[in-house]
Amino acid sequence: MNTANKKITIVDTTLRDGMSSVSHQFTPQNVADIARGLDKAGVPTIEVAHGIGLGASSIQYGFAAATDPDYVRAAVDAVENADIAALYVPGIATLAELQKAIDAGIKTVRIAVHCTEADCGQQPVEWAKEQGLNVMTFLMMSHKLAAEPLAEQAAKLDSYGADVVYVVDSAGAMVPRHAGDRVAALRQAITADIGFHAHNNLGVGIANALTAAENGATFIDGSLRGLGASAGNAQTEVLAAAFERAGWDTGVDLFPLIDTAEHVVAPLMKEPQIVDETALVLGYAGVYSTFFHPTKRAAKKFGVPARDILMELGRRGVIGGQEDMIIDVASELAGRTYETPAMAGS
């Protein structure tokens, strides 16, 4: 890639993916305070609402402290310049719920589909474009496909009208080579902008993001203090510093980011966002990040090591939406050993 201009856009997901770290219990006031700090720092797009996306507040995914429109309105009212975004997952959210988010003030929707199911995004992408929204699309669990077939899926989203197509490391299973190869393949296949969303289960979220940018990604996701499912996301304030040191123009002001992370987000955290045993094995096994807490609960209930459950789930190739398999696996296990899970095209 020619990096003569070397500009990236940082998108912050503290108030959506980060919700998973606080059991979706940020209040509208918390949302307003964090969004205000991000806006002051110049972050152009801020994602909010339930950690699993619009319409996910439920017994299955966990009840949030407020409704999605309440969260959106709190963020919209708090910012002066930033666009507020929401995540839409077909099969969880409905277009009616997306309309409520539009009425509350979102300007951007992020439509997430499994990496082999881009066609599931056609209806919401086309509908959202008709409503005048900026549309970012997610290919979740992107490590499950090698670079070329992933690019073929991206081309479908591009054809539907997506403004941005993201390579999403939902399991934190990638290392820099995996991220770079996949982004480079997308760059050859689509005209839309490319984004990268990193989880940090293998401790290389920042490195993956830098490598993605070097290969053509222009939108990079982060989360203050790294808040996010399992080991969390690439840390927004660290991304800003690392990209600046690497010669990139992020358009954001580092110190307001640090101040918001330290003085607004940190006091709200239930525990530090770290790569513990379960988070590490989840990334190593290539299992969806939101399986983190349910696996820990199942391990305790059935007296089976969490690592054994995750390795078996990885062997079976489970994806988001198959959380019921956690209980099935936990109840079946009687002590086994596992081979290293395969990475597509690795």
**Which residue type does 41 have?**
A
197 appears as a binding residue in the annotation: yes
Asked if residue 150 belongs to a domain, the reply is yes
In total, how many domains does the chain have?
2
> Token digits for 188?
């050859």
pLDDT bracket for residue 338 (50, 70, 90): very low
pLDDT at 4 over 60: no
338 appears as a binding residue in the annotation: no
Q: In angstroms, rounded to a whole number, what is the distance separating the alpha carbons of residues 145 and 148?
A: 8
The pLDDT value given to residue 134: 98
* pTM tops 0.85: yes
What share of the chain in percent tops pLDDT 70? 95
- At 9-58, the pLDDT tens digits run 999 999 999 999 999 999 999 999 999 999 999 999 999 999 999 999 99
Closest CA to 75 of 97, 48, 102: 48
Single out the residue in 268, 297, 324 at which a domain terminates: 268
When pLDDT is averaged across residues 316-332 and rounded to a whole number, the result is: 80
pLDDT at 246 over 80: yes
Based on the fold, state whether residues 285 and 183 are members of the same structural domain.
no
Indicate which CATH number applies to the domain containing 135. Answer: 3.20.20.70
How many CA atoms does the CB half-sphere of 222 hold within 13 Å? Answer: 29
The pLDDT value given to residue 172: 95
142 appears as a binding residue in the annotation: no
Asked if residue 341 belongs to a domain, the reply is no
The pLDDT value given to residue 340: 53
Based on the fold, state whether residues 296 and 246 are members of the same structural domain.
no
Residue written as token pair 């399986």: 291
pLDDT bracket for residue 297 (50, 70, 90): confident
Top-confidence residue, 313 or 268: 268
Single out the residue in 268, 297, 312 at which a domain terminates: 268
- Pairing verdict, β 219-222 and 45-48: unpaired
- At 83-114, the pLDDT tens digits run 999 999 999 999 999 999 999 999 999 999 99
Based on the fold, state whether residues 221 and 302 are members of the same structural domain.
no
- Cβ-based neighbour number of residue 274 at 10 Å: 11
pLDDT bracket for residue 337 (50, 70, 90): very low
50 appears as a binding residue in the annotation: no
Based on the fold, state whether residues 62 and 83 are members of the same structural domain.
yes
* Partners of 138 in beta bridges: 112, 166
Asked if residue 202 belongs to a domain, the reply is yes
pLDDT bracket for residue 257 (50, 70, 90): very high
Based on the fold, state whether residues 219 and 321 are members of the same structural domain.
no
- What are the backbone angles phi and psi of residue 15, rounded to the nearest 5°? -90, 10
Top-confidence residue, 110 or 324: 110
Q: Containing domain of residue 313, as a range?
A: 277-334
- Cβ-based neighbour number of residue 80 at 10 Å: 7
Asked if residue 344 belongs to a domain, the reply is no
Asked if residue 230 belongs to a domain, the reply is yes
Top-confidence residue, 237 or 286: 237
288 appears as a binding residue in the annotation: yes
Residue written as token pair 């003085």: 263
Based on the fold, state whether residues 143 and 234 are members of the same structural domain.
yes
> Token digits for 325?
């398999």
pLDDT at 2 over 80: no
Based on the fold, state whether residues 150 and 195 are members of the same structural domain.
yes
pLDDT bracket for residue 278 (50, 70, 90): confident
Based on the fold, state whether residues 157 and 46 are members of the same structural domain.
yes
Q: Are 170 and 288 in contact (CB under 8 A)?
A: yes
Torsion of CA 120, 122, 124, 129, to 10 degrees: 160
pLDDT bracket for residue 198 (50, 70, 90): very high
Q: In angstroms, rounded to a whole number, what is the distance separating the alpha carbons of residues 115 and 117?
A: 6
Indicate which CATH number applies to the domain containing 327. Answer: 1.10.8.60
Per mean pLDDT, which range of 129-143, 308-322, 331-345 is the poorest?
Answer: 331-345
Asked if residue 154 belongs to a domain, the reply is yes
The pLDDT value given to residue 169: 97
By CB atoms closer than 10 A (0-12, 13-18, 19+), residue 191 is exposed
Single out the residue in 268, 288, 321 at which a domain terminates: 268
Q: In angstroms, rounded to a whole number, what is the distance separating the alpha carbons of residues 332 and 328?
A: 6
Q: Cβ contacts of residue 329 below 8 Å, gap of 6+?
A: 298, 309, 312, 313, 316
In this structure, the chain runs to a length of 346
Q: Please, what is the angle between helix 277-285 and helix 292-302, to 10°?
A: 110
Based on the fold, state whether residues 312 and 262 are members of the same structural domain.
no
199 appears as a binding residue in the annotation: yes
Q: Are 231 and 200 in contact (CB under 8 A)?
A: yes
Q: In angstroms, rounded to a whole number, what is the distance separating the alpha carbons of residues 89 and 107?
A: 17
Based on the fold, state whether residues 191 and 327 are members of the same structural domain.
no
Asked if residue 288 belongs to a domain, the reply is yes
Helical segments of the chain, H only:
28-40, 68-78, 95-104, 122-130, 147-160, 176-189, 205-214, 236-245, 254-260, 277-285, 292-302, 306-316, 324-332
Asked if residue 345 belongs to a domain, the reply is no
When pLDDT is averaged across residues 180-209 and rounded to a whole number, the result is: 98
What share of the chain in percent tops pLDDT 90? 76
> Token digits for 308?
């054994």
Based on the fold, state whether residues 98 and 59 are members of the same structural domain.
yes
Based on the fold, state whether residues 302 and 262 are members of the same structural domain.
no
Coil, helix or strand at residue 224? helix
Per mean pLDDT, which range of 22-36, 153-167, 209-223, 322-336 is the poorest?
Answer: 322-336
